[in-house]
Structure 1
Amino acid sequence: MMKIISNMISKANLRKEMRTVLKSMSTEEIQAQSQIVTQKLLDMPEYSAAKRISIFLSMRDEVDTHNILTHALKLKKECFIPQYFTGGPIMKMVKLEDLEDYKNLPVTAWNIKQPANDDVRPDALETGGLDLILVPGMAFTKAGDRCGRGKGYYDTYLNKIYKEQEHPVVTVALAFREQILDFVPTDSHDFRVDHVISPDN
């Protein structure tokens, strides 16, 4: 059904349809697809080479990133996680020290762990930049077009890092097979990711 979504669909309607699709996925299916996607990422040369990596802390309807975080910390990669701020699409990528640090993070209204607003941590852009960024979203094409949740956090951050960081960064979207579409509506400010990983590609 999702493969033949009209190329006239609006972002708002696409998000609505995708929320329904993702909500219908069982926990077992989410975990099974997450395991496949995780292994594909860990096998990527870009992941192996990355020393400083940004990892989003997943919600229930996103590819589970917990095993990726655990693996990256075990390999002594420097891990950075999103810290969102209200009042606009303001987001930093801040340092996560270890799994104990992760366990102690507070849970937000979105039911994800995140450093509190007054939790001052090393900022990725101010301490050497990032080599690889894992990007969430609602829907993707294989070519890298992306529809996010509509808040603009990642598009704003990715455009910022491309302007301010001297060395190149690799962007990788993690997706369920249900999130891979033939068409995703985009605007000029939308950021195209370098790689899209799903169980089927």
Structure 2
Amino acid sequence: MTDVSELKIALRQRVLARRKQLRRAEPEVLASASARLVAQVLADARWRAARGVAAFVGVRGEPDTWALLEQTLSAGKGLWLPRVDGPRMVFWELREPADLEALERRKMGLREPAERGRSSPAPGPAEGVDLILVPGLAFSPGGLRLGFGAGHYDRAFGSRWPAARWAEAGREGARALAMGTCLEEFIVDDLPAEAHDLPMDALVSEAGVRECPR
């Protein structure tokens, strides 16, 4: 095991312990921070301009994204949520608020879409998705991400992440913008990185939206 891997394991353990504390002992702190994070996304010009958004349902100490998902659908945008089966993650499109209520409760408390309608392993402008809200245990100010270690997002989007920044929908080579999503306390300076880690274009927390330098 490399030193970087060991550092990641230790950081995962710390973050997961803190998430558990937030969920069980400080639910009002988590709820307040989540509401402010959602407000930051809704105020951002890139969410307002996006035809569709790929996002996630926050669970187990993650930011509560439910209001954001509702607002995305109410605004007439496409909403894509992931479904994980073993090593495979596929996004499925939701088109109306009723689709949220039909999400299935699956392992580890996850709420995931049923396998119906349009799907993609990595939705982007071709599917009408211009913004991807990426969950993570922690992020660095530069946009590096610490996930659970399964590599779902790295595999799904890594091959589609050219160096060019977010491009106007429809332009050749355009891709969706990746916005790392977490509470401010989980944006850390000492995040270890490996070559395959997927970098973000921007980060959003309850404190605001920041660009990630390239």
TM-score range, shorter chain: 0.7 to 0.9
After TM superposition, list the pairs within 5 Å mapping 1:48-59 onto structure 2.
48-59=48-59
Sort the Cα spacing of 1:44 and 1:176 in 2 relative to 1 into closer, same or farther, 3 A.
Answer: same
Sort the Cα spacing of 1:183 and 1:8 in 2 relative to 1 into closer, same or farther, 3 A.
Answer: farther
TM-score by length of 1: 0.87
SS of equivalent residue, structure 2 residue 141:
coil
Unaligned runs of 5+ in 2: 163-171, 209-214
Distance 1:101 1:9 in 2: 40
Percent identity between matched residues is 25
Unaligned runs of 5+ in 1: 1-6
> Relative to total residues, which structure has the larger strand share, 1 or 2?
2
1:80 maps to which residue? 80
Sort the Cα spacing of 1:183 and 1:60 in 2 relative to 1 into closer, same or farther, 3 A.
Answer: same
After TM superposition, list the pairs within 5 Å mapping 1:1-150 onto structure 2.
10-25=7-22, 26-86=26-86, 88=87, 90-116=88-114, 119-124=115-120, 125=123, 128-129=126-127, 130-150=129-149
1:156 maps to which residue? 155
Cα deviations across residues 43-101 of structure 1 (Å, max 9, x unaligned)?
11111110011011111311111011111111100111102121x2x212111122212
Greater RCO structure (CA 8 Å; 6+ sep): 1
8 A Cα contact 2:102 2:113, kept in partner: no
Equivalent pairs, count? 190
Which of the numbers 183, 207, 210 marks the counterpart of 1:200? Answer: 207
TM-score by length of 2: 0.82
8 A Cα contact 1:138 1:148, kept in partner: yes
8 A Cα contact 1:9 1:185, kept in partner: no
Sort the Cα spacing of 1:126 and 1:53 in 2 relative to 1 into closer, same or farther, 3 A.
Answer: closer
